[in-house]
Amino acid sequence: MRAHVDAGLHDALSYRLQNPKEEKESKFEVIGETGDSDEDLSAMLHRLQERSKSEEHKSEEFYATKDQGTLPGARTQPRSSNGILATFKAMAKQWSPEERLLHRKRLKERIKEQEEQEKRWEQARLLEKKKVEELEVKRKRREDRDIVRRQQEETAEKAEREAKKAAEAEAEAKAEREAAAAGEEQYKLGSALLADAEKLQNILAGSAFRNIFERFRKHGRGGDGVLRRGILIPSGGTTLINHAYATIKVLRETLNCKLPIEIVFNGEREMDKRTCAKFEGDFRGVRCVDAGAFNWYPKHHRPVKLRHDDSEGAKGAIADQEGHKDHKGFQFKVFSLCYVTSFDEVLMLDSDNLPLRNPEYLFESAEYRGSGSLFFSDWWDILDWVKPEAYTAFGLQYPSYSRPTLAAESGQLLLNRNMHSDVLEWLWFLNSHADTIYKLMYGDKDTFSLAFHLAGKAEQYHQVAIPPSCPLDASPQNAEPITYLHAGMVQHDPSGLPAFLHRTAEGKVYPFNHGFRRADYLTVPLSSRRAAGVLGSNIPHKLMGLMAQQIDHATYNQCPVADPRTFHKECGVSLKSGAYPVPVIPVNDMPELARVLNASYAVHDALQHAFHTTFVLGRR
């Protein structure tokens, strides 16, 4: 009940109605003064009770509604009328007639107040009802918006799916068109390749070429019967020319190598006159040859553009207006070997390749003298690098190797050019069609073996079967977890001695850097699986190399055989194993190897220092 009726007044009225004979005279006087009869008083009390019940009913509805969570705000539940009447009866017995008259007046006031309060309550109830209705409207609007949004999302998703499906269909159609065009282009290239191969085969079978080849074989390319041996170094461009300088300095001053050396480059963009003068002035028997200015090209081969075109319009072009292909990279190295060098017997070195002993003895090795060739192995199985079509396209049987055979690594090779003039023709034929051949193998390195097969001399292709070792930099400042960093690959001669350090991948030395990786340890020759771990394909890390737990020092400590030729045999090391840790030998325990490496480090240190003060090799 919103307005509390005075408990005493309520009880007094009830008592009077229940005892009308008591103090009748006094009561009439009171009634007469107020003008109210007992019937009036009874009606007032009845009305008050009915309103109390109605109020309690409304309150119960209100609280029930609130408990259901539909009405905001809180109300104080009214006091029960039964409790008020009980209180009134207890107190009425103690009242005098004057007190009862006073309470009757107060009752009228209370009834009036209650009527006003009921109006306010009704207004509040209507307000609460209005709020509920507004909330319901908002909820309905929200549901309608959600429905519209879901419909829009479904429409958008459907449109996206349809667009994606259409895009996929278009991409598939485009891929099919490109594949068809590529297939047609490849067919044309393949047809041209086979046509050129047949043409070359007929030319080489002719008497003119047979006579030339026989003359080369007997009298040398100089015609005086003197076989000229020498070292051919394709420059590799400005960033690797420091390697060539260090290699030549070590060959001349540390290894006492007397072989003449030709540095072949492709225009002044790779090597300027000042740098050439530095090489030729600092070392005896060194000659720079600009292959870009070479004014002769075999007309029976696919034409190529010999000099780089540095003009703006030519950048990115693959051929000039006459269709001459621009040869570079792998092709340039092969072209230098086939047609540019003046040597009859050639040791060709990549510019970042360092001989670890005087290479002159390799020309006298039984393997080279018996075949006129000496090639070196890579870490990888050739069956994983060369597609069968490279052989079957020419009607050759794909080599069916009875055991894993390693691909070639052409960072160094020896070749008797007089003995294998026909092989050189096939070699350039393959590399002049690099746009087709290089899709069947990686670069030039395995075109040598294929050229021997095409010339019918497969049995004269000799490759050292020993896989490379890996030099490791173990500098204390190397960060975890790769504390043994890859510094290149070490090739072995036919007996197993370290013969060349090819600074591949992260092992290269750049003049603009400060410092480089040095070989502190040398692994045993690595299997393909171990090599993959060194180069990062088996272990998730950024740097090439091995973690400390992948290095085996114990085997060498227990069996200190510092000769790489016999270490694995005497110490029970399996070279075919793909397991870790990998046995290593300290480089300092191999004095001759350490001497050569330290000499090369001194040159590279000086060149890096000079670069940061002069910027151009040989200029102060």
In whole angstroms, how far apart are CA 211 and each of 201, 219, 241? 15, 12, 39
Phi, psi of 326 (to 5 degrees): -85, 115
Look at residue 514 in the predicted model and tell me its pLDDT.
86
In whole angstroms, how far apart are CA 9 and each of 79, 158, 191? 16, 77, 122
Tokens read off for 58: 């409304």
Residue 68 CA to residue 65 CA, distance in Å, equals 5
Residue 160 CA to residue 162 CA, distance in Å, equals 5
Look at residue 328 in the predicted model and tell me its pLDDT.
54
Residue 262 CA to residue 132 CA, distance in Å, equals 98
Triad 448, 450, 451: Cα angle to 5°: 65
Which H or E element spans position 155? helix 97-205
Residue 509 contacts residue 516 (beta carbons within 8 Å) = yes
Identity of residue 562: A
* DSSP, res 545: E
Residue 120 CA to residue 114 CA, distance in Å, equals 10
Residue 90 CA to residue 8 CA, distance in Å, equals 8
Residue 547 CA to residue 252 CA, distance in Å, equals 37
Name the one residue in this structure whose structure tokens are 């390319």: 221
Residue 468 CA to residue 270 CA, distance in Å, equals 30
Look at residue 69 in the predicted model and tell me its pLDDT.
43
Bridge pairing between strands 406-408 and 377-381: antiparallel
Can you list the pairs that 587-596 forms with residues at least 24 positions away whose Cβ atoms lie under 8 Å?
Answer: 587/471, 587/519, 587/520, 587/521, 587/522, 588/520, 589/560, 589/562, 590/498, 590/522, 590/562, 590/564, 592/357, 593/356, 593/498, 593/522, 595/254, 596/250, 596/254, 596/255, 596/354, 596/355, 596/356, 596/357
Burial state string for 369-379 with b = 16 or more CB within 10 A and e = fewer than 16: eebbbbbbbbb
Query: What's the CATH number of domain 220-460, 3.40.50, 3.90.550, 3.40.190, 3.10.28?
Result: 3.90.550
Bridge pairing between strands 412-416 and 345-349: antiparallel
Residue 586 CA to residue 474 CA, distance in Å, equals 10
Residue 129 CA to residue 294 CA, distance in Å, equals 101
Per-residue H/E/C for 580-605: CCEEEEEHHHCHHHHHHHHHHHHHHH
For CA atoms 553, 557, 559, 563, the dihedral sign is positive
Residue 393 contacts residue 481 (beta carbons within 8 Å) = no
Identity of residue 172: E
Look at residue 312 in the predicted model and tell me its pLDDT.
39
Triad 343, 346, 352: Cα angle to 5°: 120
Q: Which residues pair with 408 in a beta bridge?
A: 377
Biggest CA–CA distance in the chain, Å, is 169
SS3 226: coil
State the number of CA atoms in the 13 A half-sphere of 134 facing the CB: 8
| Averages of pLDDT over each 10 residues, the chain, 620 residues | 45 49 38 44 58 54 45 44 54 72 77 83 89 90 91 91 90 81 63 86 87 78 79 86 95 98 91 93 95 81 68 35 49 92 96 97 97 96 88 83 78 96 95 89 92 95 96 87 92 97 91 90 96 74 84 96 91 91 96 97 92 58
Tokens read off for 76: 């104080």
CATH 3.90.550 domain position(s) in the chain: 220-460
Residue 31 contacts residue 97 (beta carbons within 8 Å) = no
Look at residue 211 in the predicted model and tell me its pLDDT.
84
Look at residue 91 in the predicted model and tell me its pLDDT.
65
Strands of the sheet containing 551-552, edge to edge, are 545-546, 484-486, 471-473, 521-523, 582-586, 551-552
Which H or E element spans position 406? strand 406-408
In whole angstroms, how far apart are CA 183 and each of 180, 186, 220, 360, 391? 5, 5, 44, 48, 19
Annotate 77-100 with DSSP letters as a single string: PPPPHHHHHHHHHHHHTT--HHHH
With CA atoms as reference, report the closest residue to 607 among 144, 245, 359, 113. Answer: 245
User: If phi over 0 gives left and psi between -120 and 50 gives alpha, with beta otherwise, what is residue 496?
Assistant: left
pTM of the model: 0.69
